[in-house]
Structure 1
Amino acid sequence: MAKSEKRAVHMKGIRSRILRTAENLFLEQGYKTTTIRQIVQDSGITSGSIYNIYEDKEHLFAALIDEFLDDAAKRVGEALADKTPEQRLVAYIAMELFYVEKNPVIREMMYAAHTSPMIMESVIENHAYLAREVWDARRHTKIESLHTAILLAEGAVSSYVLCFDFSEKLDYSSIRKRVMFSILQTMGLDTRETNRLIQYMEENKDLWLDLAEQVLHHSDEADK
């Protein structure tokens, strides 16, 4: 193996160790609490090496979010290969909606992602290919841009993430359905089809949670 190849393999190993360590810390204690110092201590990688690859904690977090999104799309594609593009889109979003309700640490991580313009820009790009089949099958008069539609959809998801921090406990099931209704209407679906897909989302809660668990523990699978 050439020297340059050995260095590339070495750097890949360092990057992987940084990401896996950060992933474990983020999932255990959330985004805010986790520090670069903790990642250094747990990974054995120096802070200089970490900053040589990632500009700061936000960029490291963004790299993990990209991994999660890619893995989520892959798992949805495999599990729902025989379903419609609309059902796959619902599944992709439902994984986040249901898990946000279940897990406060994931909720905090999603809040951090949704309030980072850099991460949200990446999320919109990532979602575009998944939504395009749904988008292209319909005519749109009010919203001309798929990226704009996805941005509005993510705004709806953000409102769902935020509602768990209100002092008053709300009807999360009702809000979740309304969030999905808003997203599907933004994508151009009519009311009848939208309601049918919301029912599909609610009936398959266990599947969405299972897929989300697989995404969040994908590194465990790779280690086996």
Structure 2
Amino acid sequence: MSEKRAVHMKGIRNQILRTAEKLFLTQGYKTTTIRQIVQDSGITSGSIYNIFEDKEHLFSALADQFMTDAKAKIDKALEGESADRRLVGLLAMELYCTEQNPIVRELACAFHTSPFLMETVIKRHSVLAEEVWMSRRHPRNSSLDTAILISEGMISSYLISFDFSQKMNYDEIRRKVMMLILRAMGLEARESSHLIQYMEENRALWLDLADQVLHHSDETPEEK
């Protein structure tokens, strides 16, 4: 493929992703269709399917960008902080943002009910979780991927609880979910408690970073 064509294809891909992003964030995953993306982007369905196998693969590519952006913002905001705190910050962004935004919550639920999409999440979180263990003297959790999978299951339960007919104590659930995640990854109860306190004390920061990730569409495709 020539360089000119490669640039052209990258531009088309970015246009598709930016259009899909706006639709997903305004009306959710289930409601958004490839036909709508075609209409709003001006890109033919043939061109879209030439790049993305289906809506799930398109959503996965977009979510991967969100996760990459989220980690970059956490690394910048928490520069010099421990890997433990950066991991908690990344998870806190997800928890607090999904609490505040029903559409983001629906998108997160779609992610957690798809094996294909969940595998992407596990791979992403494993990278940062590895950094946590590399910074420690004691041995790495030998089942880290399993711990992350179980952790995502805990988050799934947390997300579903918002649709219960009986309102739950979400502050309490959030704290317990984070405690279970940290303990599953091998952290001691005392340090896990300190990290949860750190998470709660910086709630405004996590929400601000999440808002930045969700509202970057004013950037041009070339900048992405």
Q: Same fold (TM over 0.5)?
A: yes
Q: Letter of the aligned partner of 2:106 in structure 1?
A: E
* Cα distance change, pair 15–77 in 1 and its aligned pair in 2 (3 A): same
Shift of 1:191: 0.9
Shift of 1:221: 4.1
Shift of 1:82: 1.8
Residue 9 of structure 1 pairs with residue 29 of structure 2? no
- 2:172 aligned partner: 174
Shift of 1:193: 0.6
Hey, what's the Cα distance between the residues in 1 that align with 2:200 and 2:163? 23
Shift of 1:128: 1.1
Residues 135 and 146 in structure 1, CA contact (< 8 A), matched pair in contact too? no
- 2:121 aligned partner: 123
Note the 1:1-224 alignment, pairs <5 A. Answer: 4-136=2-134, 137=136, 138-139=138-139, 144-222=142-220
Hey, what's the Cα distance between the residues in 2 that align with 1:139 and 1:156? 25
Give % identity: 63
Shift of 1:107: 0.3
Hey, what's the Cα distance between the residues in 2 that align with 1:187 and 1:129? 13
Hey, what's the Cα distance between the residues in 2 that align with 1:84 and 1:46? 46
Hey, what's the Cα distance between the residues in 2 that align with 1:64 and 1:73? 14
Hey, what's the Cα distance between the residues in 1 that align with 2:129 and 2:215? 25
* Superposition CA RMSD, Å: 1.4
- What number of residue pairs does the alignment pair up? 220
Give unpaired runs (5+ residues) of structure 2: none
Hey, what's the Cα distance between the residues in 2 that align with 1:139 and 1:196? 21
Hey, what's the Cα distance between the residues in 2 that align with 1:66 and 1:181? 26
Residues 94 and 208 in structure 1, CA contact (< 8 A), matched pair in contact too? yes
Shift of 1:222: 4.7
TM normalised by structure 2 equals 0.94
Residues 19 and 64 in structure 1, CA contact (< 8 A), matched pair in contact too? yes
Residues 139 and 188 in structure 1, CA contact (< 8 A), matched pair in contact too? no
Residues 135 and 187 in structure 1, CA contact (< 8 A), matched pair in contact too? no
TM normalised by structure 1 equals 0.94
Runs ≥4 in structure 1, deviation > 3 angstroms?
A: 221-224
Q: Letter of the aligned partner of 1:118 in structure 2?
A: F
